[in-house]
């Protein structure tokens, strides 16, 4: 019997994946996985199990009353999990915490496969997860326990879901706990990871995409681009990758490779340093081409440090640009030094 992979994304950022058998209702599949999704009647009457389907195809069912799920709610992607029967893999946003549903983060072990330095600005950490390859949504992150520190750090996947190796693009921070550990990390070293986490992930692609990356905020977009390439996406995708200094510009060759894999992909790099000799200087917002906005019929994804994210959001507001959807994630490097 066939089954579908259902991603349940809770409001606290935890994502749990369940298998839903053909013809099975999502609520039943969740209970089978010991995840207590919100419910009361389970008969399509109370509306307590209402969630939002963010991607995938499904049958809404017909055994429910209009008060439980109105036409406007259906048009907005809302579903009743006690009635919804998936017809493909789906992503469902659950409007409550994972704790309330008696579930939580998953954990898995990994082995260091490669530590690759880039311009003394960033590190690519590649981990071997073997048969325990984690399932995640492109754009999500995990918490990585830093050995012998009692601390963890959060990093977005830069690789595609379900691969035997996962990778991360990590900003080098002098004295930082993870940066310090990476200085001596060797292939074969063990790590513990927890996740996936986060509500910043690629939704169903139905229109052009504009990706705006700041610094190592490039990582989730590499994951998204790989998924788009593997699925043969024909949609227009434009990436603008902004950094502070010349040496912060890393993995450009990896980005260039997607021009051959994705027929409608384009990108631009921008450096903020006014002393740079780079062709495009300034802020990301100064280099957004009008055609990439597609008169508002575009899905925008933004990931970078808080000042950049705030500046981009203000730019869109000031310019009166209202994209079809706008998803963003801020990250702030943790500079807590390892105790001597």
The mean per-residue pLDDT over the stretch 243-264 comes to 95
Average pLDDT over residues 1-9: 89
d(CA 52, CA 91): 9
Of the candidates 254, 273, 274, 275, the one whose C-alpha atom is nearest the C-alpha of residue 265 is 254
Whole-number average pLDDT of the chain? 92
Assign 263 a pLDDT band (cuts: 50, 70, 90).
very high
Query: Which of the four pLDDT bands, split at 50, 70 and 90, describes residue 134?
Result: confident
The string over 109-147, giving b where at least 16 C-beta atoms fall within 10 Å of a residue's C-beta and e elsewhere, is ebebbebeebeebbbbbbbbbeeebbebbbbbbbbbbbe
pLDDT digits (tens, 9 = 90+) for 34-65: 999 999 888 899 999 999 999 999 999 988 98
Q: Are 263 and 186 in contact (CB under 8 A)?
A: no
For residue 208, the tally of other CB atoms under 10 A from its CB is: 20
pLDDT of 304 over the 90 cut: yes
β-bridge mates for residue 211, sequence order: 239, 301
Residue 337 — very low, low, confident or very high, per pLDDT cuts 50/70/90?
A: very low
Q: Does domain 3-94 have CATH number 3.10.129.10?
A: no
Q: How many CB atoms lie within 10 A of CB 283?
A: 16
**Average pLDDT estimate for 111-140:** 92
The pLDDT score that the predictor gives to residue 336 is: 44
Q: What is the pLDDT of residue 334?
A: 62
* Residue 199, helix vs strand vs coil: coil
Structure-block tokens of residue 235: 């949609």
Q: What is the pLDDT of residue 130?
A: 82
C-alpha pair distances (Å), 325 with each of 28, 301, 320, 339:
31, 8, 14, 43
Q: Which residue has the higher pLDDT, 203 or 104?
A: 203
Segment (H or E) for 90: strand 90-94
Q: Tell me the sheet residues that pair with 214.
A: 242
The alpha carbon dihedral of 228, 231, 232, 235 has a sign of: negative
Per-residue pLDDT reduced to its tens digit, 192-239: 999 899 989 999 999 999 999 999 999 999 999 999 999 999 999 999
Residue 132 pLDDT: 72
Is residue 240's pLDDT more than 70? yes
Using one digit for the tens of pLDDT, what is the confidence trace for 71-100?
A: 999 999 999 999 999 999 999 999 999 988
**What is 253-292 written as a DSSP string?**
HHHHHHHHH-TTEEEEEEE--TT---SSBS-GGGG--HHH
Fold of 107-197: Elongation Factor Tu (Ef-tu); domain 3 (2.40.30)
Lowest mean pLDDT among 97-101, 125-129, 245-249: 97-101
Mean pLDDT of 10-15: 92
Of all residues in the chain, what percent carry a pLDDT higher than 70?
97
Structure tokens at 194: 């927890």
What is the C-alpha to C-alpha distance for residues 89 and 17, in angstroms, rounded to an integer?
A: 10
Tell me the per-residue pLDDT of 149-161, one tens digit each, with 9 for 90 and over.
999 999 999 999 9
Cα dihedral: 63, 67, 69, 74 (round 10): 120
What pLDDT band is residue 1 in, cutting at 50, 70 and 90? low
Helix axes 252-261, 219-230, angle to 10 degrees: 20
Measure the CA–CA gap between 340 and 329, rounded to whole angstroms.
Answer: 33
Residues of 2-22 as b/e, b for ≥16 C-beta within 10 angstroms? eebbbbbbbeebbbbbbebee
Torsion of CA 145, 97, 213, 129, to 10 degrees: 40
pLDDT of residue 63: 86
Do residues 127 and 166 lie in contact, with contact meaning Cβ atoms separated by under 8 Å?
A: yes
Kindly indicate the confidence band of residue 136, based on its pLDDT and cuts at 50, 70 and 90.
Answer: very high
Cis peptide before 196 (omega within 30 of 0): yes
Say what the pLDDT of residue 53 is: 96
- Using 50, 70 and 90 to split pLDDT, how confident is the model at 338? very low
Pairing between strand 90-94 and 3-10?
parallel
Average pLDDT over residues 97-109: 88
Task: Classify domain 209-330 by CATH architecture.
Answer: 3-Layer(aba) Sandwich (3.40)
Domain ranges in the chain are 3-94, 107-197, 209-330
């Amino acid at each position: 019997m066939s089954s579908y992979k259902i991603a349940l994304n809770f409001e606290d950022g935890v994502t749990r994946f369940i298998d839903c058998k053909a013809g099975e209702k999502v609520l039943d599949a969740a209970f089978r996985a010991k995840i207590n999704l919100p419910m009361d009647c389970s008969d399509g009457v109370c509306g307590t199990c209402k969630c939002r389907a963010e991607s995938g195809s499904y049958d809404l069912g017909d055994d429910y009353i209009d008060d439980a799920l109105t036409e406007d709610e259906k048009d907005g992607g809302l579903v009743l999990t006690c009635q919804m029967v998936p017809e493909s893999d789906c992503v469902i946003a659950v409007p409550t915490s994972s704790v309330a549903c008696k579930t939580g983060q998953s954990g898995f072990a990994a082995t260091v496969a490669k530590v690759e330095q880039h311009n003394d600005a960033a590190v690519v950490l590649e981990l071997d997860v073997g048969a325990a390859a984690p399932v995640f949504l492109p754009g999500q992150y995990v918490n990585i326990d830093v050995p012998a520190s009692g601390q963890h750090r959060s990093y977005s996947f830069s690789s595609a879901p379900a691969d035997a190796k996962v990778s991360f693009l990590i900003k080098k921070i002098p004295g930082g706990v993870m940066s310090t550990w990476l200085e001596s990390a060797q292939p074969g070293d063990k790590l513990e990871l927890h996740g996936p986490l986060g509500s910043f992930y690629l939704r169903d692609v139905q229109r052009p995409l504009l990706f705006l990356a700041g610094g190592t905020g490039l990582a989730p977009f590499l994951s998204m681009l790989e998924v788009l390439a593997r699925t043969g996406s024909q949609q227009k995708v434009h990436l603008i990758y902004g950094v502070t200094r010349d040496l912060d510009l890393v993995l450009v060759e990896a980005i260039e490779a997607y021009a051959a894999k994705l027929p409608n992909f384009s990108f631009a790099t921008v450096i903020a340093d006014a002393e740079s000799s780079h062709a495009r200087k300034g802020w990301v917002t100064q280099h957004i081409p009008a055609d990439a906005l597609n008169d508002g019929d575009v899905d925008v994804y933004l990931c970078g440090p808080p000042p950049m994210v705030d500046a981009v959001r203000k730019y869109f507001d000031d310019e009166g640009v209202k994209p079809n959807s706008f998803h963003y994630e801020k990250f702030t490097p943790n500079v807590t030094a390892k105790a001597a």
